[in-house]
Amino acid sequence: MKNTIDQKAREGYTLELGKLIDESFATFKKTFLVSGLGMLIVSVIMVLFYVGLLGSFFGFSNLSKTVLSIETLAKEPNFIIGSGIVSMFVSALFAPFTAGFIHLNYLAHHNKPFGIENLFDFYKEPYYKQIFLSYLVIGGLTALITTVLSLLGYEKLNTFVQILFSLATIFTLPLIIYGKLNYLEALSKSVQLYTKQPLIILVALLIAVIGMLLGIFILCIGIIFTIPYLYAMHYALYAQAVGFDSTSPSIATLQE
């Protein structure tokens, strides 16, 4: 598999936008209920985590006062640096959930059984360490650049930087999970793979965002159940760009 990844990173690959849409929607139809429930669970966990974190720093007695304290400190250099560090570790801590959402689409696409429990599959070795470190690097670089921009008064560029990092590292998790690469190799190959088809990848993800929003307003289902379409497109991009071999993880191999 590593030879295939090296070859495609070096020579490039083809992506068909129509096929990406068809394949991502096909897996989304199979997974949206499980993914939606999983998204709800993860959202609750994250809210409780942040409430606990804020409460430990500012106290639990007065929530409105806590919010005002954060607004007051938002432009303080120490707070900007501190929030960047916290964001870096939080993104790394929750990254295995993202891997789990992607893997649900792999299981659905290959007609394998899946459930909520699969969202926690990558909180175990040999995956957890590599996933955590990869997002620690991504979060660290993003936090460093956005913190510097904020301190210099260029906060409006932060969104652009975050989008750029997200696009360039889009293949990192699948390369760790399915390509068996370590975190540094996965980050490097992800950037190389992205630069081969940057426009189509961007357009595909924009279509996924539009589809997610249309699902909210037209189908009247909550955003919790439409966000997973982004993961379906994420999976479809990797499946078409790189593909899999016979040793890619399944339920059985992850539970061994």
pLDDT tens digit sequence for 60-69 = 555 556 556 5
Between 70 and 161, the more confident residue is 161
Average pLDDT, the chain: 84
pLDDT at 48: 85
Rounded CA gap, 24 and 17, in Å? 11
pLDDT at 70: 59
Cα-Cα-Cα-Cα dihedral sign, residues 189, 191, 195, 197: positive
pTM of the model: 0.85
pLDDT at 157: 84
Between 51 and 243, the more confident residue is 243
- At 111-159, the pLDDT tens digits run 999 999 999 999 998 899 999 999 999 988 888 888 788 778 777 788 8
Token duo for residue 125: 């070795």
Residue where the block lists tokens 């088809």: 197
Length of the chain: 256
Rounded CA gap, 183 and 89, in Å? 16
Rounded CA gap, 71 and 60, in Å? 17
